[in-house]
Chains A and B, each alone.
Chain A
Amino acid sequence: MRVPIFKQGQYLIASIQDDLTDSDLSLLRDDLGVGVGQQRIRGVIIDVTVLDVMDSFAARTLRDLARILKLRGAETVIVGIQPEVAYSMVRLGLSLDGVETALDLEEGLALLDYQTKPGGRRGR
Chain B
Amino acid sequence: MAENISSAQQRSWMNELGLSEQEIAQRKAFLNFSDDDAQRLQALHSLAQRYAEGVIDDFYQHLLSFEESRRFFTDPAVLNRVKAAQKQYFLQLTQGQYDTGYVEDRLRIGIAHERINLPFELYLGAYNFYLRAVLQRVVEEYKNTPEQVTTTFTSLLKLVFLDMSLAIETYLSQRERVIREQHEAIREISTPVLPLRERLLLMPIIGAMDPPRAQQLTTQLLHGIRAHRAKAVVMDITGVLTVDSAVANHLIQAVQSARLMGTTVIVSGLSPEVAHALVRIGIDLTMVTTVGTLQDGIEAAEQLLGYTVTKNGTCHTPSPEKGAS
Is A83 in contact with chain B by the CB < 8 A criterion?
Answer: yes
Q: Which A residues between 77 and 114 are near B, CB-CB below 8 angstroms?
A: 79, 81-87, 89-91, 96, 100-104, 107-108, 111
Contact B226 A107 (CB under 8 A): no
Contacts of A91 in B (CB 8 A): 253
Contacts of A89 in B (CB 8 A): 257, 260
Is B262 in contact with chain A by the CB < 8 A criterion?
Answer: yes
Closest CB in chain A relative to B263 CB, distance in Å: 7
Closest CB in chain B relative to A66 CB, distance in Å: 14
A96–B263 Cα distance when bound, in Å, is 14
A91–B222 Cα distance when bound, in Å, is 14
Contact B262 A96 (CB under 8 A): no
A82–B261 Cα distance when bound, in Å, is 7
Contact A83 B219 (CB under 8 A): yes
Contact B219 A103 (CB under 8 A): no
Contact B219 A101 (CB under 8 A): no
Contacts of A103 in B (CB 8 A): 225-226, 229, 231, 261-263
Contact B253 A81 (CB under 8 A): no
Q: What 1/0 mask marks residues of chain B from 206 to 227 whose CB sits below 8 Å from any chain A CB?
A: 0000000001001100110110
Select which of A87, A100, A104, A111 is within 8 A of B219 by beta carbon.
A87
Is B259 in contact with chain A by the CB < 8 A criterion?
Answer: yes
Contacts of A100 in B (CB 8 A): 262
Closest CB in chain A relative to B127 CB, distance in Å: 46
A81–B259 Cα distance when bound, in Å, is 10
Q: Which A residues between 40 and 98 are near B, CB-CB below 8 angstroms?
A: 79, 81-87, 89-91, 96
Number of interface residues of B (CB under 8 A): 18
Closest CB in chain B relative to A97 CB, distance in Å: 10
Select which of A85, A87, A104, A111 is within 8 A of B218 by beta carbon.
A87
Contact A86 B219 (CB under 8 A): no
Contacts of A107 in B (CB 8 A): 229, 231, 262
Q: Which B residues between 203 and 258 are near A, CB-CB below 8 angstroms?
A: 215, 218-219, 222-223, 225-226, 229, 231, 253, 256-258
Decide if the interface of chain A is mainly helix, strand, loop or mixed: helix
Query: Which of B218, B253, B257: most chain A CB closer than 10 A?
Result: B257
Contact A101 B229 (CB under 8 A): no
Closest B residue to A79 by CB, please name it. Answer: B262
Contact A86 B258 (CB under 8 A): yes
A104–B261 Cα distance when bound, in Å, is 8
Contact A90 B256 (CB under 8 A): yes
A86–B226 Cα distance when bound, in Å, is 12
Closest CB in chain A relative to B185 CB, distance in Å: 20
A79–B262 Cα distance when bound, in Å, is 8
A13–B225 Cα distance when bound, in Å, is 23
Contacts of B226 in A (CB 8 A): 82-83, 103
Contact B253 A101 (CB under 8 A): no
Contacts of A102 in B (CB 8 A): 262
A103-B229, A103-B261 known; A83 vs B256 contact (CB < 8 Å) = no
Closest A residue to B215 by CB, please name it. Answer: A87
Closest A residue to B255 by CB, please name it. Answer: A90
Contact B262 A87 (CB under 8 A): no
Closest A residue to B260 by CB, please name it. Answer: A86
Closest CB in chain A relative to B20 CB, distance in Å: 28
CB pairs A–B below 8 angstroms (6 shown): A83-B225, A83-B257, A96-B260, A100-B262, A103-B262, A111-B262
Q: Which residues of A contact B (CB under 8 A)?
A: 79, 81-87, 89-91, 96, 100-104, 107-108, 111
Q: Which residues of B contact A (CB under 8 A)?
A: 215, 218-219, 222-223, 225-226, 229, 231, 253, 256-263
